[in-house]
Amino acid sequence: MDTARRPTLAVIGGGIIGRICALAAADAGWQVDVYDAGPTRRAAQVAGGMLGALGEGHPGEGRLLDRSAASSAMWPDWIDRLGDPGIRTAEDSLIVATTAADGEYLRQMAQFVWSEQVGGDRLRPLRAREARALERSLSTRVHSGYLAVGEGALDNRRLLAALRIALVDAGAHWHRIAITALSDVTADQVLVAAGMATPRLLPEIALVPAKGEILRLHRNRESVPVPTRVVRARVEGRDVYLVPRADGVVVGATQYEPSALDDHAPRAGGVADLLADAVEIMPGLATYDLAEAAAGIRPCSADGLPIIERVDARTVVAAGHGRNGIVLAPDTAARVVRLLAG
């Protein structure tokens, strides 16, 4: 490598992972070019933006819980770096059950979190009336719950926009193009972060698609106020979450196998379930405007952990972030910069 010039890096994919890795690399001295196919199939565009860790502590997923908690703690520095505190839309999460069986499900999740070394003291049990005192619009059907202190949410679209501005300010170049072969890009190093499309460029990387519907509701003059915390609910065996935004809430998300990788149409049944469960948990949401129904495909790895590794002397991959790409982004960027540095 010519030491008289900055080393060059081509990043394939401008989703959350490509952008944050590109910016971390630019900050570390790389001259970066980002190649992105556009927003149509970008999971980060539709995501809820929750920084889920304690609220996603499913037994058997200890390593993911550990990684998510560590990465979530890195977000405040990134938000400072981006200079836009409005990216953060909630500081804490309220996790509630609507039936005794749902309460038992959450209790098992909490027991698992408390058994891991991830700051489980931030997950605090609540009685129904304590939960309703925190979020006054919650349904009287709430049975029990937990407060996950410090487990908030980001506005994913504002975040993507801020990252792109920061990249340009850092001297990176953005190219709106779909790359079909890695040999088409000229750079000292190549990072493949193309989400669900990664295996098309690197067939040795196996990913499983998990489709999900997600809704955006806007508050109007008749509506109850937007909740101040993320509300995650277990409603008769189904999960639903409400993520605050400046103008309303994001309601997510279903999860099932898509019919094909271009199956991005939100299905009526998924939208109906989300609306029913959201209104069950917060009846006042019925007065909000339905601004958007969308679907995205989560790029999942076999073991639930992202695949961040060197593929060959010139190529590094960062993909397979599943349902946690936003929370795992800072940790991924740190690992990618270390891999690039050799």
Strand, coil or helix: 342? coil
Cβ neighbors of 158 (< 8 A, separation 6 or more) are 84, 86, 87
Which range of residues in 3-11, 42-50, 76-84, 275-283 is near ligand FAD by CB under 6 A?
A: 42-50
Q: Is residue 277 involved in binding ligand FAD (CB under 6 A)?
A: no
By C-beta, is 128 or 243 nearer to ligand FAD? 243
Count CB neighbours of 136 within 10 A: 11
Q: In a 10 Å sphere around its CB, with 0-12 CB exposed, 13-18 middle and 19+ buried, how is residue 260 labelled?
A: exposed
Q: Which stretch binds ligand FAD (CB under 6 A): 81-89, 109-117, 280-288, 295-303?
A: 295-303
The token pair that represents 229 in the structure block: 């915390």
Give the ranges where 7-155 is alpha helix by DSSP (H).
16-27, 43-46, 62-72, 75-82, 100-115, 128-134
Q: Does 166 bind ligand FAD (CB under 6 A)?
A: no
Asked if residue 202 binds ligand FAD (CB under 6 A), the reply is: no
Query: Considering beta carbons, is residue 128 or 266 the nearer one to ligand FAD?
Result: 266
207 binds ligand FAD (CB under 6 A): no
Interface pick for ligand FAD out of 9, 10, 11, 16 (rule CB under 6 A): 16
Stretch that binds ligand FAD, among 89-97, 98-106, 111-119, 314-322 (CB under 6 A): 314-322
Q: Which is nearer to ligand FAD, 165 or 178 (CB)?
A: 178
Cα angle 127, 131, 137; round to 5: 140
By CB under 6 A, is residue 23 in contact with ligand FAD?
A: no
- Report the residue number, 131 or 159, with the smaller CB distance to ligand FAD: 159
Find where tokens 């010039």 sit.
Answer: 5
Structure tokens at 108: 């098992």
User: Which segment (88-96, 109-117, 134-142, 320-328) binds ligand FAD by CB under 6 A?
Assistant: 320-328
- Closer CB to ligand FAD, residue 44 or residue 231? 44
Q: Can residue 240 be called a binding residue for ligand FAD (CB under 6 A)? A: no
Residues 6+ apart with CB under 8 A from 57: 65, 109, 110, 112, 113, 116, 118, 123
Structure tokens of 234? 């277990």
Residues near ligand FAD (CB under 6 A) = 12-18, 35-38, 41-44, 46-50, 52, 178-179, 193-195, 197, 212, 214, 252-253, 296, 298-299, 319, 321-327
